[in-house]
Amino acid sequence: MPIECVKLTKKYHGATSKSLDNVNVSIPTKGIFSLIGRNGAGKTTLTRILGTQLMPSSGHASINGLDVVDDAKELREIIAVIPQDGKPVPWVTPAQMIMTYLMWRGYGIRDARSRALSVIKDVGIYKEKDKHIENLSGGTRRKVLVGCVLASEAEIVFMDEPTTGLDLISRTSFWETLGRLKKDRFFLLTTHYLEEAESLADGIGILDNGKLLVSGSMDQIRRRIRYKYMVTLGKDAKVPDVKGKTVRTSNSTKIMTSEKEAKKIASEMIRRHAEFSMSPISLNEIFYSFVKEDIDLENGESHEEK
């Protein structure tokens, strides 16, 4: 059963605007769902409401049929939350941290030890298991937190910006770990890294100004976009006359257009022996096109496209 939000709204005490504004969404609790948006979009607010840590102002949210307010106690048995900036205790080792965590939850020492060991293998930190956490890389530290959450047997895991600030290699390895673990669990995570969300998440939601602009699989989201293809030409290229949107940057010319028009441009470039590349538009462009539209609507502007 999915996560259901109905008219979910949050206005913090004393705030002038809504941090979540009438969010309606249904998210299947399978695989990985990634919530993306600029700073202040409402990602943390939504994650905390779903994690039963924050009360909505109005509307409802439920997970597997359990209401985040009325059934919070039951819900906490099946969910786990890693907050934004969550950190493991620095002066113990990953093995100690996960074992202690399990013993708090009532496991006997033997069970806790063998369970901790198996989780340590699952998240790929076996080599680091006996080192002090303060000496581990940022990526490994986050994996220790994931280890604790997994040890708890929660089926549904919320992680707020688990990869922010990690270098590319740590981020890739973190996602690989989630990719392996998602068979038995659902992860909802927030991120700024659109290319990661695009290639690794099963579902994506774009939040902006407290509003959910779109949600679904990459294919479903792409279907909502007018121009589904992008052709990239050199920066000084003469742009053929096509229907679409042209953006010139300091080192390239990008044309967002339909598949048919993109193929026309491609054959023209081949005829001219000019360099070009062509691909379905990425989440990056999709994100900006949704968020830009939102900004334009607010300012009462419209933008003409030829």
Ligand X SMILES: Nc1ncnc2c1ncn2[C@@H]1O[C@H](COP(=O)(O)OP(=O)(O)O)[C@@H](O)[C@H]1O
Shortest CB 12 distance to ligand X, Å? 3
282 binds, among ligand X, Mg ion, none (CB under 5 to 8 A by kind): none
41 binds, among ligand X, Mg ion, none (CB under 5 to 8 A by kind): ligand X
Shortest CB 35 distance to ligand X, Å? 8
Measured CA to CA, the distance from residue 142 to residue 105 in angstroms comes to 21
Q: Which residue's CB comes closest to Mg ion? A: 44
Measured CA to CA, the distance from residue 283 to residue 276 in angstroms comes to 20
For Mg ion, which is the closer residue by CB, 81 or 102? Answer: 81
Find out whether 133 and 97 touch, Cβ atoms under 8 Å.
Answer: yes
- Our finding on whether 44 is near Mg ion (CB under 5 A) is yes
* Candidate ranges 3-11, 42-50, 171-179, 252-260; the one touching Mg ion (CB under 5 A): 42-50
Measured CA to CA, the distance from residue 146 to residue 141 in angstroms comes to 9
For ligand X, which is the closer residue by CB, 40 or 65? Answer: 40
139 binds, among Mg ion, ligand X, none (CB under 5 to 8 A by kind): none
Distances (CA, A) of 196 to 97, 177, 208: 29, 13, 19
Cβ contacts of 234 within 8 Å, gap of 6 or more: 252, 253, 274, 275, 276
Shortest CB 106 distance to Mg ion, Å? 32
Contact characters 54-93, Mg ion, x per CB under 5 A: ------------------------------x---------
- Which of these, 160, 218, 155, lies nearest to 189 by C-alpha position? 160
63 binds, among ligand X, Mg ion, none (CB under 5 to 8 A by kind): none
- Which of these, 300, 213, 200, 216, lies nearest to 20 by C-alpha position? 213
19 binds, among Mg ion, ligand X, none (CB under 5 to 8 A by kind): ligand X
Find out whether 220 and 286 touch, Cβ atoms under 8 Å.
Answer: no
Q: Which chain residues interact with ligand X by CB under 6 A?
A: 12, 15, 19, 37, 39-45
Shortest CB 297 distance to Mg ion, Å? 24
The count of residues interacting with Mg ion (CB under 5 A) is 3
Measured CA to CA, the distance from residue 8 to residue 263 in angstroms comes to 43
For ligand X, which is the closer residue by CB, 13 or 303? Answer: 13
Find out whether 204 and 218 touch, Cβ atoms under 8 Å.
Answer: yes
Shortest CB 213 distance to ligand X, Å? 13
Question: Where do the DSSP E strands lie in 123-217?
Answer: 156-160, 186-191, 203-208, 211-216
DSSP result, 231-264: EEE-TTPPPPS-SSEEEE-SS-EEEEE-HHHHHH
Contact characters 118-157, Mg ion, x per CB under 5 A: ----------------------------------------
For ligand X, which is the closer residue by CB, 44 or 177? Answer: 44
15 binds, among Mg ion, ligand X, none (CB under 5 to 8 A by kind): ligand X
The position carrying tokens 């299947």 is 28
Measured CA to CA, the distance from residue 116 to residue 93 in angstroms comes to 12
Helix (H) or strand (E) holding 280: strand 276-280
39 binds, among Mg ion, ligand X, none (CB under 5 to 8 A by kind): ligand X
Q: Which residues bind to Mg ion, rule: CB under 5 A?
A: 43-44, 84
